[in-house]
Amino acid sequence: MSIVTEGAARTRTVKKRRNRFLSWLISDKRAAVSLTFLVLLASLSLLAGFIAPYSPLEQSMDILVPPSALHLLGTDDLGRDVFSRLVHGGPMTLYASFLAVCIGTLIGLPIGVLAGYIGGWVDTAVSRMIDTILSCPSIVLAIAVTGALGIGLTNSMIAVGIVFSPGLARLIRVQTMIVKGELYVDAARTFGMTTTRVIFRHILPNAIQPVIVQITLLLATALLAEASLSFLGLGVQPPQPSWGQMLARAYSYMEIAPEQMYAPGLAILFTALAFNALGESLRSLLDPTRRRSD
């Protein structure tokens, strides 16, 4: 009997959550459009092998042909199908963005939580360190770290992640400090809850919302950083395609085929726009007081 009611209750909560999610999407067109776009992009990336008519590395004698039915976006200077490279560049670019943001979160989150929770000289030291790292232009720092780690997509995205971490740490630090002062945290401690448990049960769940917004916005920043680094030859190495690397290629023969720079650039623009829009929508969803001025 009790199992049945529990199951029913769970179905009800799931349904309620789903309804709330749907009504959010219906009330916020911007969120709906950007989420649809990102889901489409993700499925396109998963199915890249089936959608792309050619292999992204396959060279041919048809060099720099204009768009046609055979080659939807034409071919590049090695006779490779630009549309196929664009489709295959998608998963590469998305992987890079997620990797950078994951690493940034994995480094920044614990540091921020500890600094905010422990306070005192730990907090002072961490905050000074954060201010220092943030005073270096982020792309320059990412380039310097990439140079040290070695050139390549994974290393360059680790570098971008390292560069992201101080900003995230600063945000979570402030949130932790706010939550730490709440009565229920004091109560939990009074009842003898261990510090680890307090952090995981009370601090993190209540401090995480602005971080989720920031992570969504950082995905756009990571995407642009990947594009820049690959454009500069520090990220994805040829012949593998990424949108930034395709732009670097298009740049080298811009005088002959200027139209080739539009597709990868627009792909970057729309994806970054979608991440940003989703982040802004999440922000106004989670913090309704800010809705007016954002």
Please choose, from the candidates 61, 67, 58, the residue with its C-alpha nearest in 3D space to the C-alpha of residue 257: 67
State the binding string over 174-213 for other proteins (x if CB under 8 A, else -): ----------------------------------------
Angle separating helix axes 243-252 and 82-118, nearest 10 degrees: 130
Q: Residue 115 Cβ, how far from other proteins at the closest point, in Å?
A: 15
The answer to the question of residue 220 lying near other proteins (CB under 8 A) is yes
Residue 169, C-beta contacts closer than 8 angstroms, at least 6 positions apart: 107, 108, 109, 111, 112, 115, 126, 130
CA distance 93 to 7: 41
Select from 86-94, 105-113, 141-149, 175-183 the region that touches other proteins (CB under 8 A).
141-149
State the binding string over 142-161 for other proteins (x if CB under 8 A, else -): -xxxxxxxxx----------
Rg for the chain, CA atoms, rounded = 23
Select from 46-54, 102-110, 112-120, 138-146 the region that touches other proteins (CB under 8 A).
138-146
State the binding string over 50-79 for other proteins (x if CB under 8 A, else -): ------------------------------
In angstroms, the Cα distances linking 75 to 48, 118, 230, 240 are 18, 58, 20, 15
What residues form DSSP beta bridges with 81? 75
Select from 44-52, 62-70, 124-132, 187-195 the region that touches other proteins (CB under 8 A).
124-132
The answer to the question of residue 231 lying near other proteins (CB under 8 A) is yes
Q: Residue 28 Cβ, how far from other proteins at the closest point, in Å?
A: 15
Q: Tell me if 255 sits within 8 A of 182, measured CB to CB.
A: no
Angle separating helix axes 120-134 and 82-118, nearest 10 degrees: 150
Q: Which residues bind other proteins (CB under 8 A)?
A: 128-129, 131-133, 135-141, 143-151, 220, 224, 227-228, 231-234, 244, 247, 250-251, 254-255, 258, 261, 265, 268-269, 272-273, 276-277, 292-294
